[in-house]
Amino acid sequence: MSEIRFPLPDVGEGLTEAEIVQWRVAPGDRIALDQVFVEIETAKSLVELPSAFEGVVAELLVDEGSTVDVGTPILVIQTDAAGASPAADAGGVGAGAAAAPAASAAAAPAAAAAAPAPAAAEEGGGAVLVGHGTSGPTATRRRRHPSPGGAHEKLSTPPAPPIVAPAAPAPAPVAADRGAGPVASAPASAAGSRGESRVPVIAKPPIRKLAKDLGVDLSRVAPTGPIGDITRDDVIREASQASVFRNIQTPEAPADRETRIPVKGVRKAIANAMVQSAYSAPHVSVFVDVDATRTMEYLKRLKASPDYAGIKISPLLIMAKAMLWAVRRNPTVNAQWTDDEIIVKHYVNLGIAAATPRGLIVPNVKNAQAMSMVELAAALEQLTLTAREGKTQPAEMQGGTITITNIGVFGMDTGTPILNPGEVGIVALGTIKQKPWVVDGEVRPRFVTTIGGSFDHRVVDGDVVSRFVADVASIIEEPALLLE
């Protein structure tokens, strides 16, 4: 038997410390190769660490809730000398852990989150920690079979697990409309097997996922889809509030006079970034009211299109396309300031500010300028779901070039957002609601929103800022301009 002291690795984002959130093992437990043994919180995200060794847990060196530096031993594993992993023979988990390439490190938490250890073994390789090797290629996604659907199916939520057919004869499945993606029906209940009839629930996997997030029982939802399936709007109507942040009853006043919250993890990172941005980049802000009635009509047509079946369609999609169009016309807003030069970027990693239960994060859609409308819609939906589940990886929050903050989902008309550090522009989309609006000399009810933005005045002047925001507003007012 030999003992291995497992150090806290650098998970590939250049951070120096992390908090031990939850141990998944206890002293005396046997731990398998690639088994997730601890959950840590870095300054940007929650990360599950897989073990690079097999053996028995001898000791947990750090308590839950403690913050430790990278390289600090956190776990002792007893392992047979002959059964140690190749990584141990190659030099163990010493200083090399912190010096390994970031790409390998970023793959580790993603692989660990994507599949449990047995699934990883079946694909021919396990999760990789910085400083450790693997016996084969790492697979972070299950292989998918070709489908006749559109391009959006490549980016949409993975299909639901196969449903085992019941012993009793099942009703014939309902054919899905062309391009609508896979359709699953709920298995018969135990009561149904005793002779009680039950109408099968027909809903695509993304709809089931939304229902789970909102706490909606699909058996209680009245379907309105063309084949008797439950649509996204059906689920939202059934939900008491279509948001990950649900209203709660007002609690009683706490008995304690004060509550002290340690500043660490995501909150510490947010504070440092906001101070750095606010006091290093001179912000300039502009606002404009926009008639968004045509955008709302356009969204209705997209929702009715088979190409967008199973994909969330919201004003954020049109706002994202408007940003990409306006960046092409005003490229200096998609830039970075350094003390020596201004770097104008001819690609767009579009950041989406996401308020999650753990705090504000800004993941971005890589190379959004090269995506079709369908691809962008699917990418935005996946980004949002991943952020709400707390599974956004550090690599997904790096390299952003310009950001959208959708404060309209909280009922806000506008605001003065602070720039994401390293970026030149951030645009805020306010709530869209009916207001009196003058059209052809007459006051009519129209869907109106306010678009605002903040920009780094070191890089862009008022004329560029005004043209850029006006271009974004023109798409929201007339989305047909995207066809140019």
From CA 339, how far away is CA 333, in angstroms rounded?
17
Catalytic residue among 132, 145, 152, 457: 457
Assess whether 457 carries a catalytic annotation.
yes
**Structure tokens belonging to residue 348:** 């767009």
Whether residue 441 contacts residue 465, with contact meaning beta carbons closer than 8 Å, is answered with no
- Report how far residue 317's alpha carbon sits from residue 314's, in angstroms, rounded to the nearest whole number: 6
SS3 19: strand
Q: Name residue, tokens 């609690």.
A: 251
Handedness of CA 442, 443, 445, 449 (dihedral sign): positive
Single-letter residue type at 264: K
Contact by Cβ (8 Å): 388, 359 = no
CA atoms within 13 A on the CB side of 155: 25
Tokens of 33: 């190769």
Rounded-to-integer distance, Cα 435 and Cα 448, Å: 6
Half-sphere exposure of 367 (CA within 13 A, CB side): 4
Q: Rounded to an integer, what is the distance from CA 462 to the centroid of its chain?
A: 33
The CA dihedral of 111, 114, 116, 122, to the nearest 10 degrees, is -70
In one-letter notation, the amino acid at residue 266 is V
Burial 154-168 (b: 16+ CB within 10 A, else e): ebbbebeeeeeeeee
Catalytic residues, by residue number, are 457
